């Protein structure tokens, strides 16, 4: 029974199917216990996000079939519908897949950092549900270490690849310290919400949201401890805004050159950073002609995003190499652990023989026996006992013509070079060559 990772994601399944298969945080622990019991697995964890639902565990082919059957019943879906979108990886490929997912190499947005936090949540929930055994524990820890190394040693997440984050990063180039800046966000949609979160994370605490529906703007502003105003109040809000980011569905511009010019005069020409993400535009292009205004459009940001995506793709090459190296290292260590019990038993056996012979030697010395004879007898007895079992096994292998076992035993005992030398010495000479030499003479 080896490692297995199987699931669906944004590449293999529609949003509709992903929604049907997804687990909420509130139901995940119960689902983990049910999957463990009904699928007959020893260890299991579930990663469930908007883009993927994946199962990680110690599974066999029979367990995999049972797990998919459970998922089909649990989600009231036809097994064929799930099977068409399922992918699965085994052993080292499963390890590589987990490493790639945690590093953001398998994400819709290459290198996005949120997935690592979601992977850690999956680990914590499995631990809380009691479905995380020692093997998965080690695999998750190795996954987190691999993701950390990739983030540290490559630029996979160094550059922003969302328009909202790119806007905030450009603002950082204008202002020495964003914590001193005041922001005006126009609109209350998903893009503005994302921009607001990024600004807040960068230390911007004075945020005003202007929206056509004041209640919606207020609900958004409260997330950042800010305030909300109506669109009619924008001219006054502009006077205090160092950063203006707009993204509405208005068919006509909301900010004209005259409005911004008036605000600049009252600001005594203190610089303003503006980003117009809307299509059609919310800010008249002529605003860019004003001194002390730094106006960027969605096209400007898109070029930044595309350049950053190129950088991430280049970094992904190095990240993939690290994934392969770390996965190989993990599996090698795991295979070595498989020999631990045998090595320990062999050492215990050897120690017992050593103690036995030592006690005999000490007893002989106590009776006045010659020390040299005692040491000789001790070493011969210990050597014979160490060699007894391997010698019998070697003779048996030779008698049964098991050449591969003989060769492996020679390597195990550190005799490979000696065996090769003896075989070479025992090999008959090339008589045809000697004959040709005689003819030449």
pLDDT digits (tens, 9 = 90+) for 382-426: 888 888 888 888 888 888 888 888 888 888 878 765 555 555 555
Q: What is the pLDDT of residue 424?
A: 57
Give the least confident one: 97-106, 205-214, 284-293, 357-366.
357-366
Q: What angle do CA 41, 43, 47 make, to 5 degrees?
A: 110
Residue 244 has which token pair? 């203006």
Helix %, strand %, coil % of the chain (to 5): 65, 10, 25
* CATH 3.40.50.720 corresponds to the domain 163-305: yes
Instruction: Indicate the average pLDDT of the chain.
Output: 88
| pLDDT of 439 strictly over 50 | no
Q: Which string of b and e fits 408-420 if b means at least 16 CB within 10 Å? A: ebbeeeeeeeeee
CATH 3.40.50.720 in the chain, residues? Answer: 163-305
Q: How far apart are alpha carbons 200 and 223 in whole angstroms?
A: 9
Q: Is the pTM of this model over 0.75?
A: no
Q: How far apart are alpha carbons 207 and 229 in whole angstroms?
A: 11
Q: How far apart are alpha carbons 153 and 173 in whole angstroms?
A: 25
Q: What angle do CA 129, 22, 309 make, to 5 degrees?
A: 110
Give the least confident one: 152-161, 318-327, 369-378.
152-161
Q: How far apart are alpha carbons 350 and 60 in whole angstroms?
A: 37
Q: Cα 76 vs. chain centroid, distance in angstroms?
A: 31
**Residues annotated as part of the active site:** 50
List, in sequence order, the alpha helices (H) in 367-427: 371-399, 403-412, 416-426
Q: How far apart are alpha carbons 59 and 3 in whole angstroms?
A: 6
CATH 3.30.460.30 in the chain, residues? Answer: 2-153
Q: What is the pLDDT of residue 427?
A: 57
β-sheet bridge partners, residue 274: 244, 295
Q: How far apart are alpha carbons 424 and 320 in whole angstroms?
A: 45
The DSSP bridge pattern shows strands 206-210 and 52-59 to be: unpaired
Which whole number is the average pLDDT over 99-117? Answer: 90
β-sheet bridge partners, residue 307: none
Q: How far apart are alpha carbons 128 and 32 in whole angstroms?
A: 10
Q: What is the pLDDT of residues 313-364, one digit of tens each?
A: 999 999 999 999 999 999 998 887 767 777 788 888 888 888 998 999 899 9
| pLDDT of 274 strictly over 50 | yes
Strands in 44-48's sheet, in edge-to-edge order, are: 44-48, 52-59, 2-9, 87-90
Q: How far apart are alpha carbons 26 and 143 in whole angstroms?
A: 25
Residue pair 1/42 in contact (Cβ under 8 Å)? The answer is: yes
Residue 151 has which token pair? 């983030």
Q: What is the pLDDT of residue 436?
A: 40
Which whole number is the average pLDDT over 114-140? Answer: 94
Q: How far apart are alpha carbons 377 and 374 in whole angstroms?
A: 5
Which whole number is the average pLDDT over 118-140? Answer: 95
List, in sequence order, the alpha helices (H) in 103-188: 114-129, 134-153, 163-174
Q: Determine which helix (DSSP H) or strand (DSSP E) holds 29, and give its type and residue range.
A: helix 25-39
Q: How confident is the model at residue 192 (pLDDT cuts 50, 70, 90)?
A: very high
Strands in 272-276's sheet, in edge-to-edge order, are: 227-229, 206-210, 182-186, 243-246, 272-276, 293-297
Give the least confident one: 79-88, 130-139, 427-436.
427-436
**Residue found under tokens 């010698």:** 391
Residue 18 has which token pair? 């992903």
Of 139, 147, 221, 141, the closest CA to residue 184 belongs to 221
Residue pair 326/102 in contact (Cβ under 8 Å)? The answer is: no
| pLDDT of 10 strictly over 50 | yes
- Better-scored residue on pLDDT, 301 or 441: 301
Which residues have CB under 8 Å from 297's CB, separation 6+?
275, 276, 281
CATH number of 2-153: 3.30.460.30
């Amino acid at each position: 029974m080896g490692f297995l990772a199987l699931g669906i994601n944004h590449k293999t399944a529609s949003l509709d199917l992903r929604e049907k298969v997804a687990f909420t945080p509130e139901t995940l622990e119960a689902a983990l216990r049910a999957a463990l019991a009904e699928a007959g697995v020893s260890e299991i964890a579930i990663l469930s996000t908007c883009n993927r639902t994946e199962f990680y565990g110690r599974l066999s082919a029979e367990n995999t079939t049972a797990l998919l059957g459970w998922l089909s019943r649990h989600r009231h879906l036809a097994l064929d519908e799930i099977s068409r979108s399922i992918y699965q990886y085994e052993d080292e490929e499963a390890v590589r897949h987990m490493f790639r997912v945690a590093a953001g190499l398998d994400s819709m947005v290459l290198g996005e950092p949120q997935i690592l936090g979601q992977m850690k949540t999956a680990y914590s929930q499995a631990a809380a549900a009691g479905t995380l055994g020692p093997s998965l524990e080690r695999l998750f820890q190795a996954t987190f270490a691999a993701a950390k190394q990739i983030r540290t040693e490559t630029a996979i997440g160094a550059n922003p690849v969302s328009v909202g984050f790119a806007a905030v990063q450009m603002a950082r180039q204008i202002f020495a310290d964003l914590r001193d800046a005041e922001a005006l966000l126009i609109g209350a949609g998903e893009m503005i919400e994302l921009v607001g979160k990024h600004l807040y994370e960068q230390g911007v605490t004075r945020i005003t949201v202007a929206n056509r529906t004041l209640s919606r703007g207020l609900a958004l502003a409260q997330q950042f401890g800010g305030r909300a105003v109506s669109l009619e109040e924008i001219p006054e809000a502009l006077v205090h805004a160092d950063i203006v980011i707009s993204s509405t569905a208005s068919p006509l511009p909301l900010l004209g050159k005259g409005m911004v010019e008036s605000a600049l005069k009252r600001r005594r020409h203190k610089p303003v950073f503006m980003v117009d993400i809307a299509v059609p535009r919310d800010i008249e292009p002529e605003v860019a002609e004003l001194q002390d205004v730094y106006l960027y459009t969605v096209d400007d940001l898109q070029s930044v995003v595309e350049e950053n995506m190129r950088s991430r793709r280049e970094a992904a090459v190095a990240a993939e190499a690290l994934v392969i190296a770390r996965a190989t290292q993990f599996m090698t260590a795991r295979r070595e652990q498989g020999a631990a019990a045998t090595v320990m038993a062999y050492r215990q056996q050897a120690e017992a023989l050593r103690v036995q012979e030592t006690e005999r030697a000490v007893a002989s010395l106590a009776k006045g026996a010659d020390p040299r004879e005692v040491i000789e007898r001790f070493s011969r007895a210990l050597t014979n006992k160490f060699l007894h079992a391997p010698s019998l096994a070697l003779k048996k292998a030779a008698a049964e013509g098991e050449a591969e076992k003989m060769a492996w035993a020679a390597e195990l005992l550190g005799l490979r070079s000696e065996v090769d030398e003896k075989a070479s010495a025992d090999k008959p000479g090339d008589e045809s060559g000697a004959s040709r030499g005689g003819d030449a003479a």
